Amino acid sequence: MDARKRSILQVLTEDYILSAEPVGSRTLARKYNLGISPATIRNEMADLEDWGFLEQPHTSAGRVPSDKGYRFYVDELMARPAIGHDLLERIRATYQSRIRELEWFVHQTARLVSDITGYPSIVLAPSWELGIFSALRFVRLGPDQALLIMRTEDGLTQNRTVSIPSELSLAQLNELALEFSREFSGMAIRDLQNYILDPLSTSLKQHWSLWKSALGWLARDGSDEERMTLAGPLNILNYPEFNDIEKVRRVLGFLEQDKAVEQMAQTHPMTGGVTVLIGTETSVADIQDCSVVTATYQMGERIVGQVMVVGPRRMQYAYVMTVLEVVSDELSQALRWA
Amino acid sequence: MDARKRSILQVLTEDYILSAEPVGSRTLARKYNLGISPATIRNEMADLEDWGFLEQPHTSAGRVPSDKGYRFYVDELMARPAIGHDLLERIRATYQSRIRELEWFVHQTARLVSDITGYPSIVLAPSWELGIFSALRFVRLGPDQALLIMRTEDGLTQNRTVSIPSELSLAQLNELALEFSREFSGMAIRDLQNYILDPLSTSLKQHWSLWKSALGWLARDGSDEERMTLAGPLNILNYPEFNDIEKVRRVLGFLEQDKAVEQMAQTHPMTGGVTVLIGTETSVADIQDCSVVTATYQMGERIVGQVMVVGPRRMQYAYVMTVLEVVSDELSQALRWA
DNA sequence: GTTAGCACTCGTGTGGTTAGAGTGCTAATT
DNA sequence: AATTAGCACTCTAACCACACGAGTGCTAAC
């Protein structure tokens, strides 16, 4: 792949990303001064098509990058501009008011990203189940009700109202909680559900129904059912490739299925940094006309969640990647203090 | 309006609701044995059109109910079937597992309704701001952190982590909370934000920064920003009147704007019972091709929120109304114990 | 009051044609 | 040997004319 082919592929890809129209040799020669004639470009494009970087929707149309073409563009050709000053300010401002809770951050991040990229955006919140149990505490709310608060080492908390045996005092309750915390702290919350079934100490066993109710909470309320936040799904209606109502239904239908999206997210390497899946690389038939850009964010040193952008294959890769890089970074910063 | 016109209007409306195709006189005569000829039906339909109950998309098409026609159908003609046994069981089962919190109920309700009606559904959660403040409580989480729990008379709670002056003990904190609770209980939370600016007691004034932080929470975290839950928006793609991508964008765009929807919801009488707004009756240009069915639900005796269904004008009014009646009722029941 | 008959309207679907964009190939040019 | 001009060819989208059919309104007969 010589320099000329590279620049043709690059220029063609960028033109198509903007125009959504198959790009012909004449257009290319006229619009960008490459110093070569349409005929030469045709020859080069024929080669690029042979090698699988380009495709033709039909014989008499221009060329369009294939998945492989986009991949090469993303990996080798694309320029990565620095983020604009205004945009950076806006992102930072979003996280400045840090009076909020994790869930709020997650929602806001999804909105922010879909807003500034113009694509649908998905944020996966930290998995509660994978968190490390740290401590348990009761707060009595009424004669037979208490607030049960559970905390992970990352500082995530879940709380809910539980019914308690009325004969227990607040002090007794918290003594129990302390015992429980000592016993199980350091254990992943997911594993907690297994271990707790066979309580080790008598005092825990004694108030079995209480723990069972707590368990019910762990298994359901605290589970990862609502880990996913989808923002701006309608954005895809702005792109002509989704003028087909059927396509829209397929894609948005997929994005609404939490489980499916979560599963797809797991195929991304959780190594930090931004990754791109192009078209069929996602291995999901419903979104084979889409690309997905993913970044991870952290609480402290641990990667706990992902920010994703889903768009048409001719996505503004460079821009989206830069945005996600910055956003996930700022989010991680914000969570450091949360 | 004689009996024959009524039955023609009814039958025509129901046929159109199912078929989405303008209904002609011949169809009507053939499909339903009304005992009259197409010509007679034509004459009657001409009258109904003159009176504004029917419309013609174009000269050579069949008739379609107008807003006024639907209104008459809903108010006078429509049969209200009892809810099916299986459906009732399903609805009840959703609320049976009452281990959850309010927010979960709200989400589940939206999903349930959009699921069984096949239309997008919106649930407005109880307004936190309009709740009546009941009590405040602190739970210390760490050396300089505490969980602040606020409770309304309805039993709604909000809680968040706040930073506290490290010199305060748990006992001191809760003494403060008690004082605060005594001072302000019975007051609407919205008003609380104004009153608290001028603290009445010295001990409250003393820990001003603490209250200010709590205030910040009340003003933002606890506000009604996320009162609305939208479920199943994609359902509208199933109806042929929304094959136009522009219409879809308009409608879904509107449904995503929390504020606009909330405002529209306020135009419904909050009297309990199910209300229907048809087409332009909604006074919202973006959804003038839609109808909205709304039910209210309660916590105890107080109406605190709404369940809405948005669909095409040719909505299955009877079915949707019955479903909403039952769902809002079961939801109110479930919240009675929450 | 009801209905049959009929002319009329209008949207939809079909087939054929055209215009235009773009290609691949070949031969000429550098 | 690489590049380019020229040209025939292909294919789609747009356009038009046309016929079809559903449905109406009107009139006259029942």
- pLDDT score for B188: 86
Q: Mean pLDDT throughout B10-14?
A: 97
SS (H, E, C) chain B: CCHHHHHHHHHHHHHHHHHCCCECHHHHHHHCCCCCCHHHHHHHHHHHHHCCCEECCCCCCCEEECHHHHHHHHHHHCCCCCCCHHHHHHHHHHHHCCCCCHHHHHHHHHHHHHHHHCCCEEEECCCCCCCEEEEEEEEEEECCEEEEEEEECCCCEEEEEEECCCCCCHHHHHHHHHHHHHHHCCCEHHHHHHHCCCCCCHHHHHCHHHHHHHHHHHHHHCCHHHCEEEECHHHHHHCHHHCCHHHHHHHHHHHCCHHHHHHHHHHCCCCCCEEEEEHHHHCCHHHCCEEEEEEEEEECCEEEEEEEEEEECCCCHHHHHHHHHHHHHHHHHHHHCC
Question: What are φ and ψ of residue A158, in 5° steps?
Answer: -130, 145
Q: What residues contact A292, with CB distance under 8 A and at least 6 apart? A: A264, A276, A277, A282, A308, A309, A310
- A112 & A233 share domain: yes
Residue A151 pairs in a beta bridge with: A135, A157
Q: Mean pLDDT throughout B30-48?
A: 93
CA distance B47 to B57: 16
Interchain contact, A248 vs B249, CB within 8 Å? no
How far: A103 CA to D8 C1' (Å)? 65
- pLDDT score for A1: 84
Indicate which of B213, B234, B286 best probes the interface with A, i.e. most A CBs within 10 Å of its own CB: B234
Tallying the residues shown for chain B, one arrives at 338
In whole angstroms, how far apart are CA A160 and each of A150, A243, B136, B150? 9, 45, 16, 13
Question: What are φ and ψ of residue A174, in 5° steps?
Answer: -75, -25
Contact indicator for B320, B309 with CB cutoff of 8 Å: yes
- B101 & B239 share domain: yes
- Comparing CA positions, the residue from A36, A56, A31 lying closest to residue A46 is A56
Contact indicator for A66, A52 with CB cutoff of 8 Å: yes
Distance from CA of B333 to the nearest CA of A (A): 18
- B148 & B188 share domain: yes
- pLDDT score for A69: 97
- B246 & B147 share domain: no
Higher-confidence residue of B328 and A185: namely B328
Q: Does B252 touch chain A (CB under 8 A)?
A: yes
Residues of B within 8 A of A174 (CB-CB) are none
Q: How confident is the model at residue B165 (pLDDT cuts 50, 70, 90)?
A: confident
- B110 & B163 share domain: no
- Per mean pLDDT, which of A60-69, A239-248, B146-155, B266-275 is the most reliable? A60-69
Residue A294 pairs in a beta bridge with: A275, A308
How far: B312 CA to D18 C1' (Å)? 36
For residue A63, which nucleotide's C1' is closest to its Cα? C22
- A97 & A195 share domain: no
Q: Does B226 touch chain A (CB under 8 A)?
A: yes
Distance from CA of B61 to the nearest CA of A (A): 26
Q: What's at A121, amino acid-wise? A: S
* HSE toward the beta carbon, residue B54, CA cutoff 13 A: 30
Label residue A308 exposed, middle or buried (CB < 10 Å: 0-12, 13-18, 19+).
buried
Q: Mean pLDDT throughout B116-120?
A: 98
Of B157, B161, B243, the CB nearest to A245: B243
- pLDDT score for B217: 66
Of B186, B207, B224, the last residue of a domain is B224
- pLDDT of B196-239, one tens digit each? 655 555 566 667 666 766 666 665 556 677 789 999 999 999 99
Q: What's at B136, amino acid-wise? A: L
Question: What are φ and ψ of residue A124, in 5° steps?
Answer: -95, 120
- pLDDT score for B197: 56
CA distance A126 to A227: 7
- pLDDT score for B181: 87
- A120 & A247 share domain: yes
Q: Does A171 touch chain B (CB under 8 A)?
A: no
Give me B214's structure tokens.
Answer: 């709590």
Task: Kindly report the CATH number assigned to the domain that includes residue B241.
Answer: 3.30.450.40
CA distance A150 to A184: 12
- pLDDT score for A85: 97
What sign results for the dihedral spanned by CA atoms B45, B50, B54, B59?
positive
- A231 & A123 share domain: yes
Q: Mean pLDDT throughout B145-153?
A: 82
Contact indicator for A202, A157 with CB cutoff of 8 Å: no
Contact indicator for B192, B184 with CB cutoff of 8 Å: yes
Contact indicator for B290, B310 with CB cutoff of 8 Å: yes
Residues 196-215 of B with CB under 8 A from A: 213
Mean pLDDT in chain B?
88
Residue B296 pairs in a beta bridge with: B306
Contact indicator for B298, B335 with CB cutoff of 8 Å: yes
Could you check: is the Cβ of residue B25 within 7 Å of any atom of nucleic acid strand D?
A: yes
Contact indicator for B72, B9 with CB cutoff of 8 Å: yes
Distance from CA of B172 to the nearest CA of A (A): 16
Residue A69 domain boundaries: 3-77
- pLDDT score for A216: 63
CA distance B215 to B202: 17
Q: Does A226 touch chain B (CB under 8 A)?
A: yes
The residues of the protein lying within 7 Å (CB) of strand C read A 21-27, 38-39, 42, 45-46, 49, 56, 59-63; B 4, 35-40, 43, 58-61
Residues 86-125 of B with CB under 8 A from A: 97, 99-101, 104, 107
Q: Does B221 touch chain A (CB under 8 A)?
A: yes
- pLDDT score for B200: 55
CA distance A132 to B232: 34
- Comparing CA positions, the residue from A303, A309, A284, A323 lying closest to residue A123 is A309
Of A139, A237, A256, the CB nearest to B149: A139
Interchain contact, B161 vs A100, CB within 8 Å? no
- pLDDT score for B337: 67
Of B77, B95, B113, the last residue of a domain is B77
Task: Kindly report the CATH number assigned to the domain that includes residue A49.
Answer: 1.10.10.10
Q: Which portions of chain A are predicted below pLDDT 70? A: 97-100, 194-206, 208-210, 212-223, 337-338
Higher-confidence residue of B24 and B101: namely B24
- pLDDT of A242-275, one tens digit each? 988 889 999 999 999 999 999 999 887 778 889 9
- pLDDT score for A28: 94
Task: State which residue of chain B sits closest to A104, comparing Cα positions.
Answer: B221
Number of domains in chain A: 3
Of A99, A243, A252, the CB nearest to B245: A243
For residue A43, which nucleotide's C1' is closest to its Cα? C24
Q: Which helix (H) or strand (E) holds A205?
A: helix A202-206
- pLDDT score for A13: 97
- A141 & A186 share domain: yes
- A246 & A324 share domain: yes
- B248 & B324 share domain: yes
Find tokens 């107080």 and name the residue. Answer: B302
Task: Kindly report the CATH number assigned to the domain that includes residue B196.
Answer: 3.30.390
Q: Which helix (H) or strand (E) holds A292?
A: strand A290-299
Of A137, A221, A248, the CB nearest to B100: A221
- B286 & B268 share domain: yes
Of A167, A194, A224, the last residue of a domain is A224
Q: Does B79 touch chain A (CB under 8 A)?
A: no
